[in-house]
Amino acid sequence: MYVSEFFTLNEATVAMLQRMNPDFGYDGFGEVVFARTYSRFNHYLGKQESWADVVIRVVNGVFSIRKDWYVKNRIDWNESFWQDFARQFAISLFKMEWMPPGRGLWAMGTSFIYERGSMSLYNCAYTEIRGDTFAEDIEWMMDSLMLGVGVGFKPVRDVLNVTAPVGEYLYIIPDTKEGWAHAVRQRIEAFTIPGAKYPNFDFSQIRPEGVPIKGFGGLASGPAPLLKLLDFITECFKRYMSDPKYDVVRLKTDIANAVGVCVVAGNVRRSAEIAMGAIDDEVFMDLKDYKKNPDRMSIGWMSNNTAVCSKDEDFLLLDQIAKRVVVRGEPGLANQMNFAYGRIGKKKKYPSGRKDRATGLNPCGEITLEHRETCNVVETCPTRCASPEVWHNACLYATFYASTVSLLPTHQPSTNAVVNRNRRIGVSIVDGAYWIQTHGLHRVTRYLRTGYRVVRDTNKWANGEAGVPTAIKVTTIKPGGTVPKLVGGVGGIGFPTFNYTLRRMRIAANNPLVPVLVRAGVPNEPCVHDDKTLVFSFPMYQRGKPAQKVSLWEQAFNLITFQREWADNAVSNTLYFKPKWKFEGLISDNPYEPRAHLSFKAFNKNLREKIIIMREAGRGTYENDKHKLVFEGEDILLYTVNPDHEEDIIRDVLAHIAPVIKSCSFLPHSDVGAYPQMPEEGITQKQYKKLVKSIKPFDWTLFSNSDGEDERYCTGTSCEVQLGEKK
């Protein structure tokens, strides 16, 4: 047991919380997200958790971790003080003035973390994949991913000695996460340890497809994804030994990406990766060029890729990022030269008094991390707070939560060694852009400066109480996944894609939530990619200036401001640019085509001739100074030139911001209707009002026996399912 001393909120506080009414955001969509993702069936209470139940579980979990630490380390525990503190902590959480990470809402206070440690509570991690520890690094990475932790990795360009295995042996894979990860390690070691035997695996102990995964939720996939991964690893090493062009960076990234694909296919909670490589490493920079590497399409989507600038001359290559971003939306930029410092532009470069030795980032780019380090990221919600003072109190509670999580060890000794030294946390902000819009940047700047001092002071108190070092860094801006949807805000410093929005949610057809939504009249249809999944459509109103009306420069300066005034880790951001080619629709005379369509008869003779040629050939593209035709699937898509596009200024924006940030990424604004069942689609105010009126109140008495189901892959507006080149 990692925790054996427990805290329980007193009956008066519990009764008060049970009487309170939660205020979920986005016209009820936030409540649905909560029910689908974070509400668990409580076998002790015999019912599905309400928001109050989750708050109580989370609070009991946090204070149990701290109490356990105090008792084991013979530190005085004042029960009366902590009950009063926990009451205010719980009220602020219930009002959603601050929020734990999604994994904290789901796992905190459960027997899983009491028995297995804190790894499943962490948002993010990072590892370097080195030649001399290749198998161990991949095992650590897979173990972390299987616990829902997003992992950044760097495929180090170094010496990797690979030899053919000698002999064979049989290994029966245990039906555990550790068993899967260790099997992968054994297969890699067969090629990286001279004279090692080749493992043949017995999969008979692995539970069959569809069986519930106890403790961590979801349904088992059966052994198929693991078998596919192990075979893939063997083929990679055989290719590496026979093909001189198959590079060591390519080998390491291929295996790391394939591990992520296996984990997602294995039906555990959502995982993510980021691959980091040198900006002057041509092999790394072209990993997502599927014309050069078509065989990577099945695995390359698993990670975002980021180019690292680690020396002065690297910044002369920023145009290498700019030209690729226009085509693929990647790679991002990481300025590793700034990782050692806190907030960029402040006199105190090392706010904790220690130089950060971080060399990598987590998948969303908001936390700087050392090899094998993890970090817990929490969110504050200033637009939910009645005043700056209330927000500052929320900062206090959020800091206390994250600081307390770092007291609970993980099951990985190498990780504990780094966490115990750095105690790194990340206190973030939801709805930063709307906060600026409503209060003014000049006021928000002042609030941020005061808030940062609150976070620092709270961490100093909380860690001092526990007798551990203060955190090396404490603040960040995370992009937000499902948690901002609960509170009705936009994650981080992002802008809403649309004001009046049709938000789609993919839910397994057998999910206990389906009867609730069907009874309420929420529009739904079968998923076009999975006949066992339904797609429900929710009307949402998102406040603030929509992203299409925000220039690339304004987004860039918001990034600089939050990196200077708030984040001593990093600022996760996606700078959206207006693409040169604007999607207009499909060329079709079919009135039943669900997406925007344009009549063939409306075009001039030259374009009609090109369309006929492309249809007959079943492929092709055509481009002139005004139009572009692209044959995709069975459709011909029409694009027109956007005279106000921002593709030509990406390099200049990069050059301006690179010296004063730690990370950034770029994406073109998504095209409305570019593929069916997009996560978000703009609608009119009239359509929005009609849909809101048509949906009846949810009958939660129909909802039971759910253990939570997270969205797979990303949770933003760009994709939720793997669609190859169309995602």
Task: Indicate which residues carry an active-site annotation.
Answer: 364, 366
Backbone conformation region of residue 676, classed left if phi is above 0, alpha if psi is from -120 to 50, else beta:
beta
**CA gap 284, 338 in Å, rounded:** 22
Q: Give the number of other CB atoms < 10 A from CB of residue 606.
A: 11
**Per-residue tokens: 534:** 């339904």
Residues 704, 41 contacting (CB under 8 angstroms): yes
Q: Three-class SS of residue 343? A: coil
Q: Three-class SS of residue 259? A: helix
Q: Three-class SS of residue 242? A: helix
**Per-residue tokens: 560:** 């600089």
Alpha-carbon dihedral sign for residues 60, 62, 65, 70 = negative
Burial class (CB in 10 A: 0-12, 13-18, 19+), 78: exposed
Distance from the Cα of residue 612 to its chain's centroid: 43
Residues 537, 507 contacting (CB under 8 angstroms): no
Buried b (16+ CB within 10 A) or exposed e, 365-401: bbbbbbbbbbbbbbbbbbbbbeebeebbbbbbbbbbb
Pairing type for strands 666-668 and 500-508 reads unpaired
User: Beta strands of 156-312 (E only): which ranges?
Assistant: 168-172, 198-202, 273-278, 303-309
**CA gap 674, 86 in Å, rounded:** 48
**Per-residue tokens: 659:** 């010296």
Residue whose C-alpha is closest to residue 147's, from 101, 229, 227, 216 = 216
Residue whose C-alpha is closest to residue 489's, from 447, 531, 540, 537 = 540
**Per-residue tokens: 187:** 């297969």
Residue 238 CB partners (closer than 8 Å, separation 6+): none
Q: Three-class SS of residue 716? A: coil
Residues 654, 328 contacting (CB under 8 angstroms): no
Alpha-carbon dihedral sign for residues 566, 570, 571, 575 = positive
